[in-house]
Structure 1
C-alpha cells in the first residue's frame, strides 16, 4: 500500500509521536499541581518526556524527508 508509505503520512506520525511524548507525563504532573505532592522522580520524568518529544518527532521527520529525497522516480518499462 503506497498510501501508508507516503512521506506526508510519516511526517504526521512524527508529529503524533512528539505530541504523545508531551502528553505522557500529564498523569504524573496533575497530582503534583493539584495536591502539592512533589517528587523529584516525577519532575525528572516529565522533563525527560518534554525534551524527548520534539527530538523524536524531528528524527522521524528528518529520516522521512531524507528517504523521500533519495527515492528513485519510477520509470515506465521499456517496450
Structure 2
C-alpha cells in the first residue's frame, strides 16, 4: 500500500517545474502520465508475485535425529 502511494508521488519532480515555471513539453507530460499509470501497476504485479511465492514456499523440515 505504501509502495503504491510512493509510485503516485514519483512523477512530482517532473510535474513541479512545469507548473511553477510554465515550461511545458509533450515529452515531460507523457513521461509523467506513463510513470503515474505504470508505476502502481508494476508495483502490484511485483507484490502479487512475491506474495504468491511466499504462499507456495514449503516450510523447511528439521533434520531427523
Considering the TM-score relative to the shorter chain, is it more than 0.5? yes
Gaps spanning 5+ residues in structure 1: where?
A: 1-14
Match of 2:45 in 1: 59
Question: Please, what is the CA RMSD of the aligned residues?
Answer: 2.0
Q: Shift of residue 55 of structure 1?
A: 1.1
Alpha-carbon displacement from aligned partner over 1:23-63 (angstroms, at most 9, x marks no partner): 44322211211122211111000001001111121011111
Provide the C-alpha distance between the structure 2 equivalents of 1:19 and 1:53, rounded to a whole number of angstroms.
10
Aligned residues: 65
Contact 2:7 2:39 (8 Å CA) reproduced: yes
Q: Shift of residue 20 of structure 1?
A: 4.9
Query: Normalising by the residue count of structure 2, what TM-score does the alignment of the two structures yield?
Result: 0.77
Query: Normalising by the residue count of structure 1, what TM-score does the alignment of the two structures yield?
Result: 0.66
SS at match of 1:50: helix
Contact 2:17 2:23 (8 Å CA) reproduced: yes
Gaps spanning 5+ residues in structure 2: where?
A: none
Contact 2:15 2:29 (8 Å CA) reproduced: yes
